[in-house]
Chain A
Amino acid sequence: MATIALGSVKNQIKNTAPPRGLWCDFPLGRPLGVPQNAEFQHQVLAAAFSLLDSKQTVFKEYDIAIKDEGTEVMACTLPPRHDPEAHPAVDEANGLRPAYERALAKYGNRIGAGRTISSDQIGEAIESFIRVAKGTPWKEAGVPGIPARVSQDIRGYYETAALALSDHAPAAWAGTRWFLDHTEAGKVVLSARQAMADAGEKQPIWFYMVPGDR
């Protein structure tokens, strides 16, 4: 079998030196470049298959780059407070449930909750992280799983819900930035992560709760 490898990180694809490597300078998570743009994806595939013409190992750079400047944020209207007794993050998560369900109906559950916790447990998980942020050791706070995995499900829940609140395909990372910097739940996750780091918990337990550059 002949192989053609797409790569998003130049050093990795170049230094691994596969038989045929195409470096596409696209954001991580989008190796074909642009979602919902069949023409763009076909152009990438055409460049990939053109490497089959080579009679020896070949590495090429795709001639179009998609740069993320770290500034775009999804513009999603968050639900108003509904339950004044609930923590704002829990109230927010509950309020996003209809949007989450709409996104599931439209796209399927491709990245949402369900790997460690269900969508019904999102509020419970956020409450546990609130306790962690206030100083309770994570093993005593009722976190319903490994914190890094639980936080992935919360992020997936929010980013899925956001798709139903936006009328266009978001730029890469725009959903993550929205979740971490513009939602109450994102603040809770970041605070819990910091509290675990400060408490000297093992790094893999808290580090992978959010992207590593945070």
Chain B
Amino acid sequence: MADSDVKAMTADLEVPSFEVAAFTSPVKLSEAKVAIVTSASLHHPDDDGFSPGDVGYRVLESNKRDYVLGHWSPNFDATGFALDINTVFPIDRLDELAARGVIGSVSDIHLAYAGNQFELSAIRMDSGPAGAKFLNEQGVDIVLLTPV
């Protein structure tokens, strides 16, 4: 068993195509509020976990570092996250960048989705735009998207 073997299983997976990329130029990085959106199914222990096929999102708070990896796919290594949440969700690194003035600030709120989806229409049409609207309302300028 090797990582390349697992990746090879996805080689022929069809991916969505977009006629137009949602390209937006942000404010200067040193003035930008940055949030993370991850497809790693992270959630806080007291929140509802992700069910298989869950197309919703969970809100992750910056000041609670008790994130749980709720992803149901067995096809990735989880020990990296177990040792260091930043392997998937680089919240400490963003804090350090904000302290150094590289980025403006770190959002208090981040989002997690379940990436192991075969039917994406609900995320594309509903929970995806809803999550983007929510982050926009928080004044987020830049989103870093991380998988597992």
- Seen from chain A, the residues whose Cβ lies within 8 Å of a Cβ on chain B are 1-9, 11-12, 15-19, 27-36, 38, 41-42, 45, 48-49, 52, 55-57, 67-70, 103, 107-112, 114-115, 148-149, 151-152, 155-156, 159-160, 162-163, 169-170, 172-177, 180, 208-214
Known: A17-B18, A108-B66. A32 touches B146 (CB 8 A): yes
Starting from the known contacts A27-B3, A29-B77, 9 additional A-B residue pairs (CB-CB under 8 Å) come to: A3-B144, A19-B21, A29-B81, A68-B2, A68-B4, A70-B2, A70-B3, A152-B74, A213-B5
By the criterion CB–CB under 8 Å, are A45 and B90 in contact? yes
Q: Is B1 an interface residue, CB under 8 A from the partner?
A: yes
Rounded to whole angstroms, the CA-CA distance of A70 and B143 in the bound complex is: 33
Do A211 and B24 form a contact, CB below 8 Å, given A1-B143, A111-B79, A176-B77?
no
Contact yes or no, A159 B15, CB < 8 A: no
A119 to chain B, nearest CB (A): 14
In contact, A52 and B29 (Cβ under 8 angstroms): yes
Contact of B68 among A57, A109, A148, A152 (CB under 8 A): A109
Which of A8, A33, A208 has a CB less than 8 Å from the CB of B74? A208
Q: Name the interface residues of B56-97: CB closer than 8 Å to any CB of A.
A: 66-70, 72-88, 90, 92-94, 96-97
Q: Which residue of B lies closest to A6 (CB)?
A: B146
Contact B76 A148 (CB under 8 A): no
Instruction: Indicate if the CB atoms of B140 and A1 lie closer than 8 Å.
Output: yes
Please, which residues of chain B bring their CB within 8 A of the CB of A31? 87-88, 146-148
Residue numbers in A under 8 Å from B103 (CB-CB): 49
A60 to chain B, nearest CB (A): 15
Asked whether A28 lies within 8 Å of B6 as measured between CB atoms, the reply is: yes
Closest 9 pairs between A and B when the two form their complex, measured CB to CB: A70-B2, A29-B76, A68-B3, A29-B77, A35-B84, A2-B26, A28-B76, A213-B5, A172-B77
A50 to chain B, nearest CB (A): 10
| CB proximity of B68 to chain A, nearest CB, Å | 6
A71 vs B118: C-alpha distance when bound (angstroms): 31
- Asked whether, in the complex, the Cβ of B148 is within 8 Å of the Cβ of A111, the reply is no
Contact of B11 among A2, A11, A110, A152 (CB under 8 A): A11
Is the C-beta of B22 less than 8 angstroms from some C-beta in chain A? yes
Contact residues in A for B3 (Cβ distance below 8 Å): 27-28, 67-68, 70, 172-173
Q: Which of B85, B132, B144 contacts A110 (CB 8 A)?
A: B85
A213 & B6 in contact (Cβ 8 Å cutoff)? yes
Known: A1-B142, A110-B81, A159-B78. A115 touches B2 (CB 8 A): no
Please report the C-alpha to C-alpha distance between residue A149 and residue B147 in the assembled complex, in whole angstroms.
Answer: 20
Q: Are A4 and B144 touching (Cβ within 8 A)? A: yes
Chain B residue contacts of A48, Cβ below 8 A? 144
B121 within 8 Å of A (CB atoms):
no
Name the residue in A8, A151, A177 with the highest tally of chain B Cβ atoms < 10 Å from its Cβ: A8
Q: How far is the CA of A169 from the CA of B80 in the complex (A)?
A: 8
Contact of A28 among B7, B70, B86 (CB under 8 A): B7
State whether A35 touches B143 (Cβ < 8 A): no
Taking the closest CB of chain B, its distance from the CB of A185, in whole angstroms, is 15
Q: How far is the CB of B140 from chain A (nearest CB, A)?
A: 6
Q: Is the CB of B73 within 8 A of A208?
A: yes
For residue B130, CB closer than 8 A to chain A, the reply is no
